[in-house]
Amino acid sequence: MEGTVIVADDDRTIRTVLSQALTRAGARVRSTGTVSTLWRWIEEGEGDCVVTDVMMPDGDALDILPAIKRKRPDLPVIVMSAQNTVMTAIRATEVGAYEYVPKPFDLREVLSQVNKALNRQRRLYQPQEEEVVPADDTQKLPLIGRSPAMQEVYRIMARLMITDLGVMISGESGTGKEIVARALHNFGQRKNGTFVAINMASIPPDMIETELFGTAAIAGADGAGKFEQAGGGTLFLDEVGDMPLDAQTRLLRVLQDGKFARVGGRETLTADARIVAATHQDLRALVNEGKFREDLFYRLNIVPVRLPPLRDRLDDIPDLARHFLRQAEAEGLPRHMISKEALEILRKEAWHGNVRELENLIRRLAVLCPDEIISASVVEQEIKARPSSTSMPQPEQGQRLGQAIEVHLKRYFDMHGENLPPSGLYERILKEVELPLIALSLSATRGNQVKTADLLGINRNTLRKKIQELDISVTRGKKMM
């Protein structure tokens, strides 16, 4: 994306978000919050494209748009407005707007429109040159989706970019909590610092404090913990609901005082990291059950961001599918496109694993599909080939588990006729058995992982690892199934 973009909006947050995104895409940006400055810059010949709000403190941008068109008829003006009525859109078109974008806007859409406008300018002023269509810069955006559910997420994120406030991201497994956390870092005030992530569910309870705060250096070794590593940047606490109470107490003290010491050390260190936490659990329920400290909850939950499950944003599936195919191509896999009929089939699926499950399916299709166009029949075949998608026949009374599994597997092989199922069958079948076994055991113990590990006869750390690998939702103190 090449050229100078003038951003005019009286909301400083929106100016900052647009300026940062456009700068990252390669454009030069000048921003203002007034109509008078916008008009002065245009008179001076500034800008190759304008992105402006309608209502600003000193006037209505649509009122001066006819004058802009007379002064610089080839200057594209993209109009944004929170007054999302049909009359606003009609008025913008009548006075010569290049494009109209309602607020809250989709950042990806705005960048795409600016990119098109700048390309148009190059064609106007350099017609003799051979046109090279650049790659779509919006592919690099961390979040994909235009649905109303995601628009609300974008709106909240936009206001968080210029603050250091603590953020609590909630959502089911596979909805993209870490992606949101990374976006808040990469587009925020601490983008030049380090983004450090730690998953509380994957660390033994007695090691959490060491991981967070480090250990006193021995023989010159670096014992820095995550807080030190994230100094000047962002510390992402994933699955914070799995923290044991003693570690919660230590974390609360650090958030209150802004100071900490390494485990076994005496030196006081300053905590200089923005805290972004995430969980798939209901932390308020854990607070009521005495499993999570209420004061820590309020320290972490300053600004809540809820990520919708994929079933609440089905309109985003086409964009997501195409995005994952482009990613696969960039990683060296064959180039693919996907048919509209195939996308309709994907829209009708029950995505229990959310965006992550969709991504895994698209990647498999990118590997297995021999044709450039992924058809509906190929998608149907791959969906049916998943062991989870075949319906398990009801076992007869007294039938052993092994017999029921044998019936299931015979049906699975029969579905492929003379062909063999996709490779990796052993691991897929083991996961199919593990998933209900562990989930139902956790439900029976009301989420108590110590009792569940004892019931299953496995190590607690092994159980934690399996919960993470299989994306099993754990809610303590409640019957889950």
275: phi then psi, degrees, rounded to nearest 5:
-100, 120
What residue spans of 95-176 are helical by DSSP H? Answer: 107-125, 148-160
121: phi then psi, degrees, rounded to nearest 5:
-60, -40
Q: What is the pLDDT of residue 426?
A: 83
Q: What is the pLDDT of residue 449?
A: 87
Alpha carbon of 458 to those of 452, 453, 462: distances in Å?
9, 5, 7
Q: What is the largest CA-CA distance in the chain?
A: 86
What parts of the chain have a pLDDT lower than 70? 84-90, 121-142, 217-221, 386-399, 411-412, 414-419, 422, 471, 473-481
Burial 4-40 (b: 16+ CB within 10 A, else e): bbbbbbebeebbbbbbbbbebbebebbbbbebebbbe
Residues 199 and 235: beta-carbon distance below 8 Å: no
Q: pTM for the complete prediction? A: 0.56
- C-alpha–C-alpha distance, residues 254 and 187, integer Å: 26
Query: Tell me, what amino acid is at 475?
Result: T
Q: What is the pLDDT of residue 414?
A: 67
- C-alpha–C-alpha distance, residues 160 and 169, integer Å: 12
Query: Tell me, what amino acid is at 255?
Result: L
Q: In sequence order, what are the residues at sequence separation of 6 or more whose Cβ sits closer than 8 angstroms to the Cβ of residue 109?
A: 101, 146
- C-alpha–C-alpha distance, residues 212 and 262, integer Å: 9
Q: Strand order in 99-102's β-sheet?
A: 28-32, 4-8, 49-53, 77-81, 99-102
Residues 443 and 479: beta-carbon distance below 8 Å: yes
What the block records as the tokens of 67 is: 């004058």
- C-alpha–C-alpha distance, residues 275 and 234, integer Å: 6
Closest by alpha carbon to 314, among 341, 339, 351, 264? 351
Q: What is the pLDDT of residue 465?
A: 84
What the block records as the tokens of 296 is: 């820590």
